[in-house]
Every structure is written in structure tokens, then in C-alpha cells.
Structure 1
Amino acid sequence: MAVATEEPQSFPAAAGVVSPSAIVEAAVRAAIAWAAIAEAPSVAVIQKDGKEFDAFVSYANTSSLGEDDESNSYIITEEKFALELLPNVLEKQHGYKLCLFERDILPGGVYTEDVISCIKRSRRVIIVLSPNYIARNDSRIFELQTGVSSMLDNYKTKVILIKFHSLPDRVDLPENVKKAITVLPEITWKGKKSFPPSSNFWKMLRYHMPVKKNNIVTSQSFN
């Protein structure tokens, strides 16, 4: 819902000599009005920006874990994190709408065109960084590059990096990944410590997500 704002008021018309106090008062009213206008898009954009999704999720659909890691119930693969845990918390508990390629895109299309279309329709691009994400130096890096390009072309789109597993030494990273890590917000997944929805991980992730007027979705909505 768009926030009602009032037009900034001009200085009093000079019918003679304008007192300094009248100028200060008019300036304060104008500043307040302009501040209201500046804040209005952050509330209205979630409904009126023409975007279909709150975030497109990019991840490696192959596991970076070893067999010993996968036996630990608190350690999950990138795929389960993206397809199960993220939707369970962000969609079911906080009312966000994610774009998951395997879930939301019909098969048979041209991959590059589908990715560009999905990212253009999303307010955020969540990149789940892991060794396998970087190792697949084709499709996944294309999604990262497309997200960054969209961010540069359209200020409404922002990229969020989730450091899901430890990465190789920065010297060995692709150049575009180095630049992304340097300038983009990065949130670290810490396994068991990050699982609870009340953890700092989810608080930080929600901080970088679009502003929603009603951010909490009651459990009754999913019964």
C-alpha cells in the first residue's frame, strides 16, 4: 500500500520582509515532507514495483559435503538448504515468495533466457556460495553475473551472498567471484548454530530482504 505523502511546501511568498523564524519553519516543513516522499517507495515497492518474486535463489545442486558430513543431521546439502530450509523459513514463516528454478520454472525453455527473466522479476538474488558453486564455472557463475548486472542496471534488485561452506583461497577464485565477495553483503551459514529461525543468520538474511509491511505470517495461515 502506497504511503500518503504531502507535497513539500515552498517558502512563504514575499509580501514584504520575511522573518527569519518563518523561513526556518518553512524549511523544516519542507524537509519533513521530502523525507516522507523519500521513505514512501520502501513501503510501496513490495507491491507496486511489478516484481513477481522477492528473491531468486542460485545454488549448486550437487553436494559439497563428504559422507561423514552428510551423516550429521545438522549439516545439509546446498540443494536441501535452497529447496527446503529457505522456503520453510522465508516463505512459510515470513511470507516471502522465492523463485526456485527447479520448482517454479517449466522445463523445456532456454536456460539463459529463463534465468534472465527470473532475475528481472525478482527483488533480490540470493547466491548460496560453496566450493561446488564455484567449481561449476558455467551455469551458476552465469546466474551470479546476471544478478550483479541486474543490480547495476536496476537499483531495485540487490544481490545477497550466503557463504554456505568454506571457499578456496581467494587467489584461486574466479575474478568475478572475487569482486562479488568484496562488494556484496555476505552472510555466513554456521551449521547447527544457524538452524533456529531466531538465529543471527536469519535475522541478517531478513535484514537484506525486501521490506514487507506484515513480515510475520501467523501459523494459522498455513493450516
Structure 2
Amino acid sequence: MFSVKFLTMLLKMVLLLLLFFTFISGEPLPNLGIYSPMNGEVIEVELGTAALITCTAVIDSCGSSLFWLRKNEFVERNDTLRYFYNFTNPCNISEEMSHWMNASLVFREVLEEDLSTNFTCKLESDEFTRFATITLNKTAGLSYSIITVCAVCITVVMAVTIFILVKFKVDVTLFLRDSIGLKCCQQNTSDGKIYDAFLLCYKSVTDGGLSEEDRKYLASTLEDQFGYSLCLYDQDVLPGQAVAEAVLDCIDESRAVILVPSFPDPELGSEVLSAIHASLAEKKTRLIFINTEQMEASTSGSFPEALQLLSKAGNSVTWKGGPPSSSFWKQLRYHLLAPQQAPKMGLLEQEF
């Protein structure tokens, strides 16, 4: 008889062997048969392109075979053909253990004729035979009508967007500049200039020039409401300085020049106007030429030659006054660069 000690050792060895085979075998495999694709499955393909359809089965011995049929004919394994099949041989373990086998149906190019043909994956073994028949279907794409509708919608949206940008370009630019602070709507303010604009009055050839009250309103609105730093001839030019020299110095220190028609102030000499035009052309300083409705009604030939050149060199805005939200102020601010400092009224409101 076996001793108790020997039986105990034998039991331990059996347990170790069970643990060992459990470890190397992993999870148990499913039942034998074809698992993919499903019988009757419809697989979408794109015409004119390559396609790969894999048949996966569980076999119990290396004597089993897995292959593809087109209708009732065998698909060849010749990889030079337009369509063929290949398979992986998993027979690297004992035949008593079940394992996976794959057979792939390969299309170098899917043709229209393939859509009306049944392809069958067949599994044969000594004990059973399994089939999985599939059909191919063309990948559903966007119909012509849907593409047309999308193209029309995109065109309409682009047209409306362009119309809005052209029609309301002033409002859009000011909104982006003031509310969002978009850098593309304003140039770099670090240009060494002292003033945002030089407000220069000249004698109007008609009675339609701005009065002293209008000129004060123009300057105060730009400074107090919109934060522009202005160079004013009467305020910032030293007494006794030559007019032409003083005007050119103010232009050098300003980022833009605003020409304001006034009546009945003394007229700037034609030599001064010519010097202003030459300086603006050389330095590429922005020029905003303020008109009045009376000036627009006059013929251009009634203006001095130097004044005509200046009016053509800059952007023209018609004076209408009104509140800071009116179209005149929007047009004027659109042609000016963004101010280098925040509006004073805005700063006061933030403090409270």
C-alpha cells in the first residue's frame, strides 16, 4: 500500500499540473464552427477600391479546412488575381486542442459584378461542415440631390456673408476693434507718434464750413467719447512759429490728419496746402477730408488746386454732426486708426 506521505505528494503534483495547463491554455475557446461573418450578412464595400473580408472559425484539429467559394466555384489562392483568398495555419499545438483559424477573401478592386454574387466561407472537418454566405453592397454615398442642396446652401451663406460684410463693413470693423479688440482691425500703436490725429482747420470756399461750436464739438467728442489724442493748431503750436513749419511738425507727430472746413477763419496759404500734400504723400500719413453738404453741391473746379489734391488723396466724410452713435462718427472712426488710449468716458464709468 501507498503511504499517506506518497499520496499527499501525488495529489500536489496533480494540482500543479492542473494549474500549469490552466495557465498555458488561457480562457476556454467557444464551440466549434464559423463565428464571423454571420450567414446572410451584407457587407458594404466601395466600388473601384480594395476590400478585405475575413472569415474566422474555431476548429478542433489540423485536418479541418477553411476556404472561400464564389457561387459554387472555389476561390483560388493566387495573389496575382483580382480576387483571391489566403488563410493562417494555427497548427502549432496538439491536434486534440481546439483553436482559431482565419481565411481572408481579398479584392484588389471591387467591381459592379461582385455585388450580385454570393460569396461563401466554408469550414470542413471530419465530423461536420459549416457555411457562412455573404453578399456585397455598395457603400451608401450622398445622393446628387443632397450634394446639390448642400452646394446651394453654402453658396447662399457665402453670398449673404459677403453682402453683410460689404454692406455693414464699418459697423463690423468697429465692433471687432472696440468689443473684441481684434488685432487685424487696428495697427500697432507703438509707432512713436504723440497724437492720434492732427485736427487742421482750413477756410472753406463756400459758406458751408463748420462753425466754431461745431469744431469744438468735433474735437471734444473725439477726445472725450472715443479716447483720441488730438493735436490742435491753436492749442499745441507755439506762438510766433512759422505756419508751414508748425503744421509739418504736427503732421510728423500725428498718426492721421483731419482737414476740417471752417468759416470764416483765415485761409491757409496755397504753399502751406502744397507742403501738407507733399508731406502726407512722403510719410503715407492717413488723411480724412471732412466735407459739408454745401461743399458737395459745389463744383470741384471752385476749389484751389492744392485743396483738390488733398481731397483726392484722403478719405472723404460728410459732416452731419449728431450723437456719437450716428453714421458720421462711425465713418470718421472707421478711417482713423484705433486710439492709443481708452476713451475717457469709459475709464470714468469703470471707476464708478
The CA distance in 2 between the partners of 1:93 and 1:204, in whole Å, is 15
Distance 1:144 1:88, change over 3 A: same
Is the 1:93–1:219 contact (alpha carbons within 8 Å) kept by the matching residues of 2? no
Is the 1:187–1:204 contact (alpha carbons within 8 Å) kept by the matching residues of 2? yes
Aligned-pair distance for 1:49?
A: 1.0
Match of 1:153 among 275, 282, 287: 282
What's the TM-score once normalised by structure 2's chain length?
Answer: 0.41
Of Structure 1 and Structure 2, the greater strand share is in 2
**Structure 2, unaligned runs of 5 or more:** 1-182
Aligned-pair distance for 1:166?
A: 1.6
Is the 2:210–2:261 contact (alpha carbons within 8 Å) kept by the matching residues of 1? no
Distance 1:65 1:181, change over 3 A: closer
Match of 2:225 among 93, 96, 114: 93
Q: % of aligned pairs identical? A: 31
Structure 1 residues 113-165: Cα deviation after superposition (integer angstroms, max 9, x where no partner): 111111111111101135757x8261xx555434332221123x111000135
Is the 1:131–1:165 contact (alpha carbons within 8 Å) kept by the matching residues of 2? no
Is the 1:127–1:144 contact (alpha carbons within 8 Å) kept by the matching residues of 2? no
The 3-state SS of whatever aligns with 1:166 is helix
Asked if 1:182 is matched to 2:312, the reply is yes
Distance 1:80 1:50, change over 3 A: same
What RMSD over aligned residues (CA atoms) do the two structures have, in Å?
3.4
Match of 1:136 among 248, 267, 270: 267
The CA distance in 1 between the partners of 2:224 and 2:333, in whole Å, is 13
Structure 2 partner of 1:210: 337
Match of 2:253 among 121, 144, 160: 121
Aligned-pair distance for 1:108?
A: 2.1
The CA distance in 2 between the partners of 1:200 and 1:40, in whole Å, is 22
Is the 2:202–2:260 contact (alpha carbons within 8 Å) kept by the matching residues of 1? yes
Structure 2 partner of 1:49: 191
Aligned-pair distance for 1:100?
A: 0.6
Structure 2 partner of 1:22: none
Q: Which amino acid aligns with 1:163?
A: N
Flag the structure with more relative contact order, 1 or 2, with Cα contacts below 8 A and sequence separation at least 6.
1
Q: Which amino acid aligns with 1:53?
A: Y
The CA distance in 2 between the partners of 1:121 and 1:149, in whole Å, is 16
Structure 1 partner of 2:90: none
**Structure 1, unaligned runs of 5 or more:** 1-38, 67-74
The CA distance in 1 between the partners of 2:330 and 2:185, in whole Å, is 22
Aligned-pair distance for 1:107?
A: 1.1
Distance 1:132 1:213, change over 3 A: closer
Structure 2 partner of 1:35: none
Structure 2 partner of 1:201: 328
The CA distance in 1 between the partners of 2:264 and 2:197, in whole Å, is 21
Structure 1 partner of 2:214: 81
What's the TM-score once normalised by structure 1's chain length?
Answer: 0.61
Structure 1 residues 55-102: Cα deviation after superposition (integer angstroms, max 9, x where no partner): 111114799659xxxxxxxx960x3333x2122211111111111111
Q: Which amino acid aligns with 1:169?
A: T
Of Structure 1 and Structure 2, the greater helix share is in 1
The 3-state SS of whatever aligns with 2:337 is coil
Match of 2:235 among 84, 99, 103: 103
* Count of residues in correspondence between the two structures: 166
